[in-house]
């Protein structure tokens, strides 16, 4: 029984195994079939992609072949054009070679023709080619000289129009601002008397009063027939002023005797010293100059009684300081330095009557003694060209000094100065070769030079005028300017028969 059950179980198990085997075999077959189908599909897909890629490649290859074909056609066209150009250049080179040969032939022909013409011209003119060149060069040199003279005149006119216009504007403006009235130089003073009886009292018994007054003051008293007046004569303006003040005090007091005269002279000297200090201080204040040594101020005040060619030296110094300051303002220089140098430039003139030496050297030593700066001392030292002016301010002081002294009405020059200036001008003009005569006219403001016409041409006359002007500038000192006029007169006379 048990064996039968076991056999039935084994049989059922075997059936199940067979069934499972059949099912697995069937699944395997189905799987193989699916794999075959998938392979076929993959193969077809790969073939399609390959076909598409092949078509794209063929299309791209076709396009590239077309581009290469176009490039090839272009290269062929360029090659043809290049060959055409090469041929054209070759033809031009051949033409140029032919023309160059023709030019060489013509050049040889022209050279031969020029040589024949030159020989013929030499035969006709009677001069050689070298001589003709020399004559031509001389003519060209003469023309160049005339052109140079013309350029010189044009440049001079241009410089005068541009530079002098501005300079005149600045200088005229400075002079208009600073014009100061001048006094006339005199060596005498007149004291008015209340009556002629006062003359006897001034003389005193046996002349003791007049002798005392003359001894104490150093001034000569002239008592003559002039009604109600006494004349004081002295070259020292300070002493003359002391005597005038003392005499006026004596006349006002009425008591005139030697002791009283001595007292009045002493008081007058103190008053004049005080007045001089005030005048010096007023001059410094007028220019806005501070920190001057008291002795410098006192010495400046002495210039109030000093004149030079009729020009009051203190007023002249103030004017120079004003002009120098005005010009310094226009050109951007040191205004204070220019004014200070202008005020002190002639301070030596207050000392030259008591000490030996020129007023320039005395002024330099005096300014250095009382602590003035070297720039101010240089302005004093250079204002008459004793040394070259190395600063702008020193040059301005020198220019301002010439302007103040040279403007009309500022000074009363003597006849001797005019004669010396005129003689010097004529000597400089006649010192050049080829000068016939020279004339200084307009009180030395112009010199006219007559030249020998055969010695100078137009260019030479222009150069001569310039040379004379340069020599006048280097050898003479003068206010303003001097015109140089060269006259070259040529006269030709023919007689009709």
Alpha helices in 371-496 (DSSP H): 374-382, 392-406, 415-430, 458-475
Q: What is the pLDDT of residue 174?
A: 56
Q: What is the pLDDT of residue 411?
A: 53
By residue count, the chain amounts to 497
Q: Look at residues 444, 459, 455, 464 and name the one whose alpha carbon lies nearest to residue 490.
A: 455
Q: What is the pLDDT of residue 184?
A: 40
Domain 415-487 top-level CATH class:
alpha beta
Q: What is the mean pLDDT of residues 396-422?
A: 68
Q: Look at residues 235, 400, 213 and name the one whose alpha carbon lies nearest to residue 307.
A: 235
- Which pair of tokens denotes residue 149? 């003279």
Could you report the per-residue pLDDT of 136-145, keeping only the tens digit for each?
788 888 888 8
Architecture of domain 287-412: Orthogonal Bundle (1.10)
Task: Give the dihedral sign, CA 309/311/314/317.
Answer: negative
Q: What is the pLDDT of residue 181?
A: 46
Q: Residue 413 above 60 pLDDT? A: no
Q: Are strands 307-308 and 446-451 parallel, antiparallel or unpaired?
A: unpaired
Q: Look at residues 278, 206, 201 and name the one whose alpha carbon lies nearest to residue 247.
A: 201
Q: What is the pLDDT of residue 112?
A: 86
Q: Residue 173 above 70 pLDDT? A: no
Q: Are strands 483-487 and 307-308 parallel, antiparallel or unpaired?
A: unpaired
Q: What is the mean pLDDT of residues 409-423?
A: 62
Q: What is the mean pLDDT of residues 361-370?
A: 88
Question: Residues 23, 24, 26, CA angle at the centre, nearest 5°?
Answer: 65
Q: What is the mean pLDDT of residues 178-204?
A: 66
Q: What is the pLDDT of residue 479?
A: 63
Could you report the per-residue pLDDT of 211-237, keeping only the tens digit for each?
888 888 888 877 777 777 888 877 777
Domain range summary for the chain, segments of one domain joined by +: 1-91, 127-168, 179-267, 287-412, 415-487
Whole-angstrom distance, CA of residue 290 vs CA of residue 340? 9
DSSP summary character for residue 122: H
Cα torsion through 132, 134, 140, 146, rounded to 10: -130
Q: What is the mean pLDDT of residues 247-264?
A: 82
Question: Residues 52, 57, 63, CA angle at the centre, nearest 5°?
Answer: 130
Q: Look at residues 347, 342, 351, 348 and name the one whose alpha carbon lies nearest to residue 324.
A: 342
Predicted confidence band of residue 49 (pLDDT cuts 50, 70, 90): confident
Which is more confident, 176 or 298? 298
451, β-bridge pairs: 435
CB 445 within 8 A of CB 480: yes
Q: What is the pLDDT of residue 182?
A: 45
Neighbours of 180 (CB within 10 A): 14
Q: Residue 294 above 80 pLDDT? A: yes
Question: Residues 396, 401, 402, CA angle at the centre, nearest 5°?
Answer: 100
pTM of the model: 0.49
Domain 179-267 top-level CATH class:
alpha beta
Could you report the per-residue pLDDT of 158-169, keeping only the tens digit for each?
776 666 556 656
Give the distance from CA 317 to its chain's centroid: 28
Q: Residue 430 above 60 pLDDT? A: yes
Q: What is the mean pLDDT of residues 84-93?
A: 90
* pLDDT more than 90, % of the chain: 0
Which is more confident, 206 or 168? 206
Q: What is the mean pLDDT of residues 465-484?
A: 82
Q: What is the mean pLDDT of residues 423-442?
A: 83
């Amino acid at each position: 029984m048990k064996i039968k059950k076991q056999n039935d179980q084994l049989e059922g198990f075997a059936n199940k195994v067979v069934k499972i085997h059949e099912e697995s075999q069937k699944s395997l077959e189905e799987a193989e079939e699916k794999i075959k189908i998938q392979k076929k599909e993959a193969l077809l897909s790969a073939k399609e992609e390959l076909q598409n890629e092949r078509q794209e490649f063929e299309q791209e290859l076709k396009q590239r072949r077309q581009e290469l074909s176009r490039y090839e056609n272009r290269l062929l066209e360029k090659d043809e054009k290049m060959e055409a150009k090469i041929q054209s250049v070759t033809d031009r080179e051949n033409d140029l070679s032919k023309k160059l040969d023709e030019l060489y032939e013509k050049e040889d022909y022209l050279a031969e023709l020029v040589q024949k013409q030159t020989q013929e011209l030499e035969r006709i003119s009677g001069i050689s080619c070298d001589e003709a060149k020399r004559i031509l060069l001389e003519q060209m040199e003469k023309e160049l000289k005339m052109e140079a003279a013309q350029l010189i005149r044009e440049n001079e006119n241009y410089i005068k129009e541009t530079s002098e216009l501005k300079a005149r504007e600045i200088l005229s403006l400075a002079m208009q601002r600073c014009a100061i009235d001048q006094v006339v130089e005199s060596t005498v003073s007149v004291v008015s008397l209340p009556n002629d009886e006062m003359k006897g009292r001034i003389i005193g018994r046996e002349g003791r009063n007049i002798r005392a007054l003359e001894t104490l003051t150093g001034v000569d008293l002239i008592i003559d027939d002039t009604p109600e007046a006494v004349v004081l004569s002295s070259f020292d303006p300070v002493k003359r002023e002391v005597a005038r003040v003392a005499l006026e005090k004596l006349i006002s007091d009425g008591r005139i005797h030697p002791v009283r005269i001595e007292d009045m002279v002493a008081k007058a000297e103190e008053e004049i010293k005080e007045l001089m200090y005030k005048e010096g201080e007023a001059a410094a204040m007028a220019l806005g100059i501070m920190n001057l040594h008291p002795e410098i101020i006192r010495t400046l005040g002495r210039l109030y009684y000093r004149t030079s060619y009729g020009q009051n030296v203190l007023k002249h110094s103030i004017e120079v300081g004003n002009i120098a300051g005005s010009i310094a303002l226009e050109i951007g220089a040191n205004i204070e330095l220019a004014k200070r140098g202008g005020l002190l430039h002639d301070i030596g003139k207050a000392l030259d009557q008591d000490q030996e030496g020129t007023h320039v050297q005395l002024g330099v030593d005096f300014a250095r003694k009382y602590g003035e700066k070297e720039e101010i001392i240089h302005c004093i030292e250079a204002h008459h060209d004793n040394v070259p002016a190395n600063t702008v301010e020193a040059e301005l002081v020198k220019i301002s000094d010439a302007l103040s002294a040279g403007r009309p009405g500022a000074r009363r020059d003597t006849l001797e100065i005019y004669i010396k200036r005129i003689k010097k001008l004529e000597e400089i003009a006649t010192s050049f070769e080829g000068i016939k005569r020279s004339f200084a006219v307009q009180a030395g403001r112009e010199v006219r030079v007559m030249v020998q016409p055969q010695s100078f041409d137009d260019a030479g006359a222009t150069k001569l005028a310039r040379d004379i002007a340069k020599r006048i500038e280097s050898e003479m000192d003068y206010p303003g300017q001097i015109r140089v006029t060269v006259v070259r007169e040529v006269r030709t006379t023919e007689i009709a028969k």
